[in-house]
Amino acid sequence: MAKKILVIDDHPDSVFLMQERLQREGYEVITAYDGQSGLERAFNEIPDIILLDVMMPGMSGLEVCRILVSTPTTKGIPVIFVTARTEAESTREGLQAGAFDYIRKPVNKVDLLARITSALKLKESTKLLLELEKIDTFAATVVTANHEIKQPLTLINLSTASIRREINKEVISREAVLKKIGFIETAIKEINVVLEKFKAIKSPNFSQYINNIKMVDLDTPSDDKQ
């Protein structure tokens, strides 16, 4: 599937030039001619990259970029500023706004394609790292659940086995049965405590278990609660 690039620029000739070049390279190009419509297209289309003019009437490219990087659905999309401004202060402002890179006008085709390729590689690498992080988090959760719940589950199994033996006796000790039921109730409470800790986690912290295996730290507040 062709990568989708959104071009936002208030100069139709600049848009046409970049659209023609990019389509020749096999990219799908969508366009917008002001900041507000550019945001709408970004939110609706979720492009792979956004080429954004800095100087636009109304909403500037800097404003658009700040909104894009602060919105969950678009914050992972690399934004490349396309601008005629060359001063260092302008570049600094753009990078502080969240831009991935800068391209100077007039746009050089080789430079344009190289920077797009670089941005796409970064996006794919970031996506891969996020997937690996999810896998690691899942594995750590399984290890933690097994570690934390194994003991109370063992207690439940032993207690039910003891109750089964007791009720098979000719004379059943009510006191013994109630004692084992108490063990089961305690174990259930311990499991519920563990499950509540899992539910409370928003951004997990990890601790080392054994042999480079990690566990979710249930006793340390998650990062977003600190």
The verdict on residue 74 lying in a domain is: yes
**Structural domain boundaries, residue 92:** 4-107
What's the half-sphere exposure (Cβ side, CA atoms, 13 Å) at 129? 7
In a domain, 122, yes or no: no
123 is a domain residue: no
Measured distance between the N- and C-terminal CA atoms of the chain, rounded to whole angstroms: 42
Q: Are residues 46 and 137 in the same domain?
A: no
pLDDT digits (tens, 9 = 90+) for 147-163: 788 888 889 999 999 99
Model confidence over 196-225: pLDDT tens digits?
888 777 767 776 666 566 767 776 655 544
Q: How far apart are CA 151 and CA 193, in angstroms?
A: 13
CATH number at residue 8: 3.40.50.2300
Of the residues 76, 107, 138, the one at which a domain ends: 107
Pairwise CA distance, residues 141 & 205, whole Å: 11
Is the domain of 149 the same as that of 185? Answer: yes
Q: What is the pLDDT of residues 80-103, one digit of tens each?
A: 998 877 655 666 777 788 888 888
Verify that 94 and 153 share a domain, yes or no: no
Are 11 and 76 in the same domain?
yes
This prediction's pTM: 0.59
Q: C-alpha dihedral over 169, 174, 175, 176, to 10 degrees?
A: 30
